[in-house]
Amino acid sequence: MACIFFISDPHFSHQNICKFLRDDGTKLRPFESAEEMDEAMIKNWNEVVRPQDKIYVNGDVCMKDKELEILKRLNGHKRLVRGNHDISDTKVYMKYFEEIYGVRVFDDFILSHFPIHPDSITKRYKTNVHGHIHYNIVKDINGVPDGRYFNICVEHINYTPISLEDMRKQIADWQDKYPPVYKHDYIKGAD
């Protein structure tokens, strides 16, 4: 039986991301080079994702078209939720991805690259599974983590794709700790 996996912001072959720092001055990623980072993420990916599995990449695959070749080394039926660095023509990505989205709606969550506006997260969708903000998390106006958002950037998931089942469990744990507050309920038939 095929499984579904998720990952965001791998930034394959992006040398400069290995130099980025967090607010506290520590390295964003624990790699000395893009090559070391790529090999670690390829190994992690292929250890959990089988050829028959589906995997959604929530954007920012790599910085240059020629670097997309790395995707040939990765298991699974790939789907792309485009990010701010995925700016090439769609036909370029179609060589590596079976489907491409701006956002992808599941029964109980919305996949996007950027965190979506909080008014778009209702009891119908419950959670925005996103990337883009790397090690950060979305907080409410009081600085408390917002339970409506779940960040799957590689920095949060140990540079390894997360399965749908594990993600749903982690979302439930996250929302137990930070109960989501929905501004309005979904009105049946409104969409």
Give the model confidence (pLDDT) of 59-114 as tens digits: 999 999 999 999 999 999 999 999 999 999 999 999 999 999 999 999 899 999 99
Q: What is the distance between the alpha carbons of residues 56 and 33, in angstroms, rounded to a whole number?
A: 25
Residue 125 has a pLDDT of 82
Among candidate residues 75, 103, 67, 107, the one with its CA nearest the CA of residue 5: 75
- For residue 143, CA distances in Å to 107, 139, 156 come to 29, 5, 19
* pLDDT tens, residue by residue, 173-184: 999 999 998 876
Half-sphere exposure for 96 (CA within 13 Å, toward CB): 24
- CB neighbourhood size of 144 (10 A): 9
98 in Cβ contact with 76 (< 8 Å) = no
Query: Domain 4-177 has what CATH class?
Result: alpha beta
* pLDDT tens, residue by residue, 144-180: 999 999 999 999 999 999 999 999 999 999 999 999 9
Among candidate residues 115, 111, 120, the one with its CA nearest the CA of residue 133: 115
**Is pLDDT of 188 > 70?**
no
β pairing state of 77-81 and 127-130: unpaired
Q: What is the distance between the alpha carbons of residues 26 and 183, in angstroms, rounded to a whole number?
A: 36
Among candidate residues 161, 156, 167, 153, the one with its CA nearest the CA of residue 50: 161
Q: In the chain, where are the structural domains located?
A: 4-177
14 in Cβ contact with 63 (< 8 Å) = yes
